[in-house]
Chains A and B, each alone.
Chain A
Amino acid sequence: MSEQSSTSLWVERKPSRIRWSAVLGLLVFYVVLCVVFSVLSPFFLTLRNFSNIASNMAYIGIMAAVQTALIIGGVMDLSMGASAQLAGVLVGILYGKGWNIWVAVLFALLIGLAIGAANAVSVTRIGINSFIATLGMLNVAEGIALVLTGGLTVSILVPQFQFIGMGAILGIPFPIILMASFFVVFYLLLTFTPFGRAVYAVGGNPVASRLCGINNARVLTVLFILSGLAGATSGILVASMLGAAAPAALSGTILTVIASVILGGTSLSGGLGSVWGTLLGVLILGTLTNGLVILNVSSFWQEVTQGLVLLAAVGIDQIRQRRERA
């Protein structure tokens, strides 16, 4: 049917609002999920519990907000979780060597930035597919974290540093504030700046975007650097929450990150998506885990449920899109 798009018939079609309806659908799903859990357990529907959910998902949310921008831009960063891991480990090791904790944090952020820059070079200069380039980087960063620690956990018990993961401002846990600021900043960036528009353009049709005078390579470079920084931020947050950095604590988180983005309705083919959908995706996955824990469901079954929810959500969205098209 794709050839039909070139004929005048399409004028008659309803303007598609697929993506917003996807977000709306998720919202409904989220509410239903909450209702079900609150019926099943008296401990679920409390402010404290929801604050817990959000705090626990903050490190995923930070990465997911940025990953959304990357996927809209038609690329992906699989190395985010590994950058997070390496950043956490670095803070621990450097602090152990007597560095000031904030200098160690700054250094870890710089390493995140460097990882992002390296990814950008692989993708934009050398032309490696972003999936492969960042998969390679994932292994490199994770490997370095293991080498540096010898596979052991490094403890970081500094009261000021604990604030990042445990503190609160006006009663709001700091991780939530951190995550919220990432979402707001990326919302503003993607919606209200020429850069954000360029991100959609590069993901939507790189050839046309270049012919509009957009420097695709520059856009992608900025995205990858932001991604490295977000990874490092996440890693620092987790290290602070746990009071320690374990070299393997975050393997696998990248899959949850990507699952949240896709669940939120961002198209893997680029050019379409929003951070608010992703936020809902993050909350749904977080709430699901939380509710199942409260109901004493084994963590193995939690995995299964998460997978099924992702498949169901994306599947339903696909079916609806096909129906709107037909």
Chain B
Amino acid sequence: MGYLEMQKIVKSFSGVRVLDEVDFSLDRGEVVALLGQNGAGKSTLIKILSGFYGKDGGRIFINGEEVHFRSPAESLRKGVRVIYQELEVFPDLTVAENIFMGDLPATRFMGVPVTNRREVCVRARELLELLGEDIDPETPVRRLSVSAKQIVEIARALAKKANIIVMDEPTATLSQKEVERLFAVIRRLRDQGVGIIYITHRLEEVFTISDRVVVLRDGKNSGFFGTRETSWRDLVQAMIGRTLEELYPKRASSIRSEKVLLRVENFSIPKYLESVSFTLREGEILGVFGLVGSGISELALGLFGALPFKGRVEVDGRAFTYPSPSVAKSLGLGFIPADRKQEGVLPELSVVQNITLASLESYCRGGFLRLRDERSCVREWVRRLNIHLRSIDQPIKSLSGGNQQKAVLARWLATNSKVLIAAEPTQGVDVGTRIDIYHIFDDLAKRGMGIVLLSSDLPEVLALSDKIIVLEGGKAVGCFSKGEADERTILYLAMGGKEAVTH
């Protein structure tokens, strides 16, 4: 039996089983990757382990003793510590104060506990050294980079004598150098006998850092692997329940003519982008690949006029002079934003209201909306994009992420845009929707639409694009046409010369 043993864990929300007899185990001094798509049940499993949710069935053992967590505090007391993506640090306190927050080492002075600043610092430094870091304990945490803040949180977990540390997608906002730094810390933790649960959906990281892999799919265990004995292919298969080849469409180029739909010259956004140029032809899908922080999200927002830019942009021969989304729309641009929750959906509004928001003029006669026309048009899009819903009047927030994304897509298809700017269109959607979206893009291109696909998902960019631009540090560092691009070169370029932000 492992140090942590979770057996046949069951959890339902309002009658829907999100975890169905899931097993998980972890030893001390071991890194286990918990892998799965969004909605596979990773977060729920962790929230049960951390006492945030109660379980409906199953048993949890820590060090051979059965535990029943009723609150996060009880789980903490058993040595379980979760480090979430949104770090829980106190920005205005120092590193040392953050590490010992809650139980600062104190001496009594006339009966009143007084913290000894020097002693706190010495002990904080010891802990950080254990992790191989030399962050100054007196620095206010606000001044640290994201990765240094993470390390402070890890040190805090050590200070609390955590034996099980859970890291929830810790690398999502880190640069490549920072990732390596984090991995070094994780290895040290492991060597000190801490058990680590590493949640991610990035396969490369699984192979670099983990000893074992537990894969979840649709709330069930879909695979247990020793990292050394497994392959990329096996893991993908376990994650998505089908092979990689089936996921991406075989797409022949559908460039219709040499007619340029979008011409971008010396496109710059201060601090984010420097002099990016490209052209997009009728029926072409242009892939822009870049890692987090490379400038792809700014490029997307800028192209749609949501950020002020310098340089020349022409849409179907007409110059895009004043940066504003309403101007972009009138020129025939459509936009799928990267952050669906913040920038895409209007959560309380109905599916109808969400889908037609960008095309209201087309249902308008004499200043009034024709609600019947509007609704029949929405029904048509719901059918064409295969959006699963109960009623077109339900608030969009009650749809799944994938269906919300399709609704956002429908919003722009309803405008008859000539060019679609799609930023991370498949982020946080289930595999089914992902496949649907790829086919929709392929279909749109065949009908002559130009698509700029900005994504940090390389296989997706490779499979769909007729041409690929690689973005790094706000500059275009490579340009490949379909067929001449290979994964390794592109990744190398995308990571190349990236400077780590140090503390």
Q: Which chain A residue lies CB-closest to B40? A: A7
Stretch at the interface among A35-43, A86-94, A202-210: A202-210
B402 touches A (CB below 8 Å): yes
Judge whether A204 and B347 touch: CB under 8 Å: yes
Instruction: Find chain A residues with CB under 8 A from B401 CB.
Output: 6-8
Stretch at the interface among B276-284, B321-329, B375-383: B321-329
Chain A positions 133-166 with a Cβ under 8 Å from a chain B Cβ = none
A127 touches B (CB below 8 Å): no
Give the shortest distance, in Å, between A189 (CB) and chain B (any CB): 10
Judge whether B361 and A194 touch: CB under 8 Å: yes
Which residue of A4, A7, A188 has the most chain B CB atoms within 10 A of its CB atom? A7
Instruction: Find chain B residues with CB under 8 A from A207 CB.
Output: 342-343
Identify which of A10, A201, A209 contacts B399 (C-beta below 8 A).
Answer: A10
Judge whether B398 and A16 touch: CB under 8 Å: yes
Please measure, in the bound complex, the distance between the C-alpha atom of A152 and the C-alpha atom of B149, giving whole angstroms: 63
Judge whether B348 and A9 touch: CB under 8 Å: no
B426 touches A (CB below 8 Å): no
Q: Mark A199-220, 1 if CB is under 8 A from B, else 0.
A: 0110011011111111100000
Which residue of B329, B357, B371 has the most chain A CB atoms within 10 A of its CB atom? B357
Please measure, in the bound complex, the distance between the C-alpha atom of A193 and the C-alpha atom of B366, giving whole angstroms: 10
Q: Mark A1-40, 1 if CB is under 8 A from B, else 0.
A: 1011111111111111000000000000000000000000
Q: Mark A162-200, 1 if CB is under 8 A from B, else 0.
A: 000000000000000000000000001001111001101
Identify which of B38, B349, B388 contacts A11 (C-beta below 8 A).
Answer: B388
Judge whether A272 and B348 touch: CB under 8 Å: yes
Please measure, in the bound complex, the distance between the C-alpha atom of A209 and the C-alpha atom of B411, giving whole angstroms: 12
Contacts A7-B18, A14-B390, A271-B349 given; does A201 touch B369 at CB 8 Å: no
Instruction: Find chain A residues with CB under 8 A from B358 CB.
Output: 212-213
Contacts A8-B400, A208-B343 given; does A201 touch B357 at CB 8 Å: yes
Which residue of A5, A10, A210, A213 has the most chain B CB atoms within 10 A of its CB atom? A213
Instruction: Find chain A residues with CB under 8 A from B329 CB.
Output: 212-213
A267 touches B (CB below 8 Å): yes
Tell me the number of A-to-B contacts counted with CB atoms below 8 Å: 128
Judge whether A197 and B348 touch: CB under 8 Å: no
Chain A positions 206-248 with a Cβ under 8 Å from a chain B Cβ = 207-215
We find that the number of chain A residues with CB closer than 8 angstroms to chain B is 39
Judge whether A211 and B343 touch: CB under 8 Å: yes
Judge whether A15 and B328 touch: CB under 8 Å: no
Which residue of B342, B346, B395 has the most chain A CB atoms within 10 A of its CB atom? B346
Identify which of A7, A197, A205 contacts B39 (C-beta below 8 A).
Answer: A7
Stretch at the interface among B8-16, B20-28, B169-177: B8-16
Judge whether B39 and A209 touch: CB under 8 Å: no
We find that the number of chain B residues with CB closer than 8 angstroms to chain A is 54
Instruction: Find chain B residues with CB under 8 A from A212 CB.
Output: 325, 329, 357-358, 411
Please measure, in the bound complex, the distance between the C-alpha atom of A188 and the C-alpha atom of B369, giving whole angstroms: 10
Which residue of A16, A207, A210, A211 has the most chain B CB atoms within 10 A of its CB atom? A211
B364 touches A (CB below 8 Å): yes
Q: Which chain A residue lies CB-closest to B374? A: A197
Please measure, in the bound complex, the distance between the C-alpha atom of A195 and the C-alpha atom of B369, giving whole angstroms: 10
Judge whether A15 and B390 touch: CB under 8 Å: yes
Give the shortest distance, in Å, between B394 (CB) and chain A (any CB): 3
Judge whether A209 and B326 touch: CB under 8 Å: no
Q: Which chain B residue lies CB-closest to A12? A: B16
Judge whether A214 and B394 touch: CB under 8 Å: no
Which residue of B38, B330, B345, B398 has the most chain A CB atoms within 10 A of its CB atom? B398
Q: Which chain A residue lies CB-closest to B12? A: A9
What is the interface of chain A, defined by CB distance below 8 A to chain B? Answer: 1, 3-16, 188, 191-194, 197-198, 200-201, 204-205, 207-215, 267, 271-272, 326
Q: List 15 A-B contacts (CB under 8 A).
A: A3-B43, A6-B341, A7-B400, A9-B13, A12-B16, A13-B14, A16-B398, A194-B369, A200-B353, A205-B342, A208-B337, A210-B325, A212-B358, A213-B358, A271-B347
Given contact pairs A4-B13, A271-B348, a sample of 5 additional A-B residue pairs in the complex whose CB atoms are under 8 Å apart: A7-B39, A8-B430, A12-B14, A191-B369, A200-B353
